[in-house]
Amino acid sequence: MKSLFEPESIAVVGASSDSRKIGHIVLNNLIQSKFRGKLYPINPKADEILGLRAYPSLTAIPAEVDQAIVCVPNTLVPSVMEEAGIKGVNSVVVITAGFKELGKEGAILEKRVGEIAKKYGMRVLGPNCMGMMNTHHCMNGTFTNIQPVSGSVAIASQSGAVCSSLLDWSTATGVGFSTFISVGNKVDVDEADLLEYLKDDPNTNVIGMYVEGANRGRELVRQAREASKKKPLIILKSGRTSSGSKAASSHTGALSGSDKVYDAAFRQANAIRVNTIDEMFDLLQVFSNMPLPKGDGLAIVTNAGGHGVMAADACSDHGLTLASFEKETIDKLKGYLPEAANCYNPVDVLGDASADRYEFAIKAVMEDPNVSCVAVLLAPLDTVDISAVASNLATFAGNVDKPVVGAFVGGTKTDAGIKLVQEANIPCYDSPDRAIRSLGAMVRYRKMRDSAGDDAPVVMEGDKQKVREMIDSVLSTGRTSMSESEGKEILRAYGVAVPEEITCATAEEAAAAAARIGFPVVMKIDSPDIAHKSDVGGVKVGVSSEAAVKAEFELMVSKVSARVPGAHINGVTICQMVKGKEVLIGMTRDDQFGPVITFGLGGVFVEIMKDVTQSIAPLTRTNVDTMVRSIRSYAILTGARGGKAADIESLKDVIFRIAQIALDFPEISELEINPVMVGDEGKGTYAVDALVVLRRDN
C-alpha cells in the first residue's frame, strides 16, 4: 500500500502530448503538484512529453518503477498489467473505464486485470477511477486539476462525481486534505484496505468515505472499528446490498433491510454515518479543525434571541446539553454586557453587539468548567459589523482547547463573514442546526471512542452434533423450512429455554397432554408450511379444560386447512403457558456482513411498530447492552408505570445463544423467535415460538 500512497517513481502509461487526453492531464498534474520522485511517460509513438523523456513501454525504462498509472483504452489494460508485472511494478492505478460497470464483457476484462495483479503481487486501485492524490507527498495522480489545500482529512470515494464535489468544496472552505482516493470498481484495493493504511497515516486525523456498497463487509467493519479508535471516521453511504432486495419469509427479514444492516455495521464500528453530502462537509469541517469536547455542555453566544432558542432546541436532538454557568461566569458577563443582555445560557449579546462584546462573552463562557463547546450565532442586523465579528472569531483559531463553531445565519450579507471564519480554520455554518449537529457529532464520537474498549465477542456452547444431524435430516427430505418443534429442538440444543410442549395427532392425545402439563395451556398448529400461525387461526392461548382442548383441536385443524389449502399439518402442539414481556429475537444472513441479529418489541404488531435494532454477529457484551437499551420500548422491560422489571440478563443470554447458532451453522439462512417471553427478574426467558429456514448452497 505504501507504493500507492507514497510512490518513489511513477510511470504514466498512455501519456500523450495531446493536452485534451487524460494521459496528458495526469502527467501534467503530477508535474504541477511538484512530485519529487521520478516520472516516466509511456507512449510507443513519442520520445518526449511535457519535457520528460518518454519510453515505448514499461520494460524499456532503465530503472525501477514503483507505481504505474494506466490511461490507455480498456482492451489494452491486461497487456499493460502483464508488462507492469514483468517490470516489477508494486502498484497500479487504472483510470481507464469500460469494465464491470459496462456489463458482462467488461466484468470478464476486469476479472482478468485482478488475476494478473494477483499473479505478480501488485496492488491495483480502480479500474474506472479518477486516481489518487497525496498532498503530503506532492502527488496529484488524478485527471482533475482541482488541487485541494494540504491538510489532515483523508477522503475515499466510490463515485468520481462525489470526488470532484469534495475537492471543489475543499478549495472553497479551506478544509485541507491529506490524501484523496477515488476507489472506482475496487477490483483489488477497497475501503477496508484503505482504512488499514489510513489509521496509521501520521498526516491523517479524520477519514471521510463515500460508499455505495462494500465488497468485504465483515473486513470493513473490522478495519473501521480499529480506525475509529484512533481517528474519527465519517461515512456517507448510499445504495443497497443484493440481499436487501431478496424476499424474506420472516418478520426479521422484512425488518432488517440492507440499509439497516449498514447502520448496524457502522454503529458497531463506531463510525459516524451521515446521510447527506452537506452533513459530510459540516462534520469534516469541525473534526479537522477543532479539538474533541470533553463533555456535552454547550454554551451559545448570540446577537439574536430567536437563533439562540433554535440552537437550544437543537441541543437535545444532537446529544448536547445547555451548560449551566458557574456564578463567577454570570457575574463576569453581567459586569461587562449591557443591562438588557441575557447573561445566562444562551448568552444574548444584543442586536447592537460589537465584535468586542462577542469576544468578551466567548472568552467568558469558554473559561466556565461546565462548558465543553461553544456555538457563536450571528444574525445580519444593520447594527452588527459582520466582518469585525468574523475577524474576531478567527483569532480563536489554533488557541482553543474546546471546540468553537460559528453560525452566521443569512445569505448575501453573511456569506463573506462565513468565508472569512472558515479560512481561519474555524468551522462556520449558515444555520444554528448545522452548527449544533456538528458539535453533537463530536460529542457522540468521543463517547463512542472512550467506551469502545476491547470488548471480546461472547462465545456460547451448544450441542453442535445434534443440530448438525437435524439440519442434514431436514435437508435430506427436500425441505428448507423446519417445523416449530424442530426449531425448538435446535434452541434447546443451544441452551435456550422453551416451554414444555407435546405435539399431538388427535384431540384425545391433546387433552391428555394438557392435563399432564397443567392448565391453562397454549395450543398451536404444527405445520412446516405455515410461518405465521396466528395469522391463519393457528394459535389459541389460555385453554383451561380437557373439553375445551378437544373442541379447539378440531376447530383449529379445520380452520387452518381451509385457510392454507395443501399445508401439511402434523397436528396440534400443547404448550405450557409462560408469562412475561413479549420480545422478538431473529437472525437473517446478509451477503456482505454475515449473520445479522435483530432484537425488538415482539408480538403480532412487530412490523407495524418497527421497534427493533440490529447487530452483526459475533456479538460483544457492549453490542448486546446497546441493542437492548436502544429500542423505544426499553422502559417496558425495566418496569415502566409500576410494572416489574424483566429478567434482562437472561434475555441477553438468549441473544448470545441465537448469535452462536447463526455463527455455527451457515446453512441457517433465517431464524426467528417471536415471541420470546421475558419473565420477571429471576424467572428466566422462554422461546415460545421458533421459525428456522435453511438454505441449500452450503
Cβ within 8 Å of residue 52, ≥6 positions away: 27, 31, 39, 40, 41
Interface with ligand ACO (CB under 6 A), residue from 65, 92, 130, 274: 130
User: By C-alpha distance, which of 390, 479, 2, 428 is closest to 193?
Assistant: 2
Q: Which residue has the cell 397454549?
A: 522
CB nearer to ligand ACO: give 133 or 322.
Answer: 133
For the bound state, the minimum distance from the C-beta of residue 154 to ligand ACO, rounded and expressed in Å, comes to: 18
Taking CB under 6 A as the criterion, which residues in 13-32 touch ligand ACO? Answer: 13-14, 16-18, 21-23
**Which cell numbers in the block locate residue 229?**
479508535
H or E element, residue 207: strand 206-211
For the bound state, the minimum distance from the C-beta of residue 15 to ligand ACO, rounded and expressed in Å, comes to: 7
Per-residue binding string, ligand ACO, 579-598, x by CB under 6 A, is --------------------
User: By C-alpha distance, which of 57, 96, 84 is closest to 184?
Assistant: 96
* Distance between CA atoms of residues 554 and 5, nearest Å: 73
Q: Taking the alpha carbons of 171, 176, 178, 182 in that order, is the dihedral positive or negative?
A: negative
Interface with ligand ACO (CB under 6 A), residue from 4, 72, 514, 575: 72
* Distance between CA atoms of residues 578 and 563, nearest Å: 28
CB nearer to ligand ACO: give 160 or 380.
Answer: 160
User: By C-alpha distance, which of 210, 366, 234, 221 is closest to 287?
Assistant: 234
Query: If DSSP states are collapsed to H, E and C, what string results for 327-340?
Result: HHHHHHHHHHCCCC
For the bound state, the minimum distance from the C-beta of residue 144 to ligand ACO, rounded and expressed in Å, comes to: 8
For the bound state, the minimum distance from the C-beta of residue 262 to ligand ACO, rounded and expressed in Å, comes to: 23
**E strands along 441-580, which residues?**
501-504, 521-526, 539-543, 571-576
CB nearer to ligand ACO: give 18 or 328.
Answer: 18
- Exposure on the CB side of residue 311, measured as CA atoms within 13 A: 39
Is 238 a residue that touches ligand ACO (CB under 6 A)?
no
Q: Which stretch binds ligand ACO (CB under 6 A): 36-44, 169-177, 278-286, 353-361?
A: 36-44
CB nearer to ligand ACO: give 143 or 686.
Answer: 143
CB nearer to ligand ACO: give 95 or 574.
Answer: 95
Residue 521 burial by Cβ neighbours in a 10 Å radius (0-12, 13-18, 19+) = buried
For the bound state, the minimum distance from the C-beta of residue 674 to ligand ACO, rounded and expressed in Å, comes to: 45
Is 422 a residue that touches ligand ACO (CB under 6 A)?
no
Taking CB under 6 A as the criterion, which residues in 249-308 touch ligand ACO? Answer: none
For the bound state, the minimum distance from the C-beta of residue 12 to ligand ACO, rounded and expressed in Å, comes to: 9
CB nearer to ligand ACO: give 130 or 404.
Answer: 130
CB 659 within 8 A of CB 597: yes
Is 73 a residue that touches ligand ACO (CB under 6 A)?
yes
Question: Helix or strand or coil: residue 504?
Answer: strand
Is 487 a residue that touches ligand ACO (CB under 6 A)?
no
CB nearer to ligand ACO: give 46 or 512.
Answer: 46
Interface with ligand ACO (CB under 6 A), residue from 89, 129, 166, 386: 129
* Distance between CA atoms of residues 205 and 546, nearest Å: 71
Q: Which stretch binds ligand ACO (CB under 6 A): 41-49, 302-310, 346-354, 537-545?
A: 41-49
Is 96 a residue that touches ligand ACO (CB under 6 A)?
yes
User: By C-alpha distance, which of 121, 50, 55, 52 is closest to 92?
Assistant: 121
- For the chain, the maximum distance between any two Cα atoms, rounded to a whole number of angstroms, is 100
Is 45 a residue that touches ligand ACO (CB under 6 A)?
yes
Is 696 a residue that touches ligand ACO (CB under 6 A)?
no
For the bound state, the minimum distance from the C-beta of residue 288 to ligand ACO, rounded and expressed in Å, comes to: 24
Q: Which stretches within 532-639 are classed as H helix? A: 546-563, 606-609, 621-630, 634-638
Taking CB under 6 A as the criterion, which residues in 203-232 touch ligand ACO? Answer: none
Residue nearest to ligand ACO (CB): 160
Kindly state the number of chain residues that form the binding site for ligand ACO, as judged by CB under 6 A. Answer: 28
CB nearer to ligand ACO: give 96 or 615.
Answer: 96
Question: Helix or strand or coil: residue 310?
Answer: helix
Is 157 a residue that touches ligand ACO (CB under 6 A)?
no
For the bound state, the minimum distance from the C-beta of residue 242 to ligand ACO, rounded and expressed in Å, comes to: 22
* Distance between CA atoms of residues 271 and 449, nearest Å: 9
Q: Which residues bind ligand ACO (CB under 6 A)?
A: 13-14, 16-18, 21-23, 42-46, 71-74, 76, 80, 95-98, 128-130, 160, 182
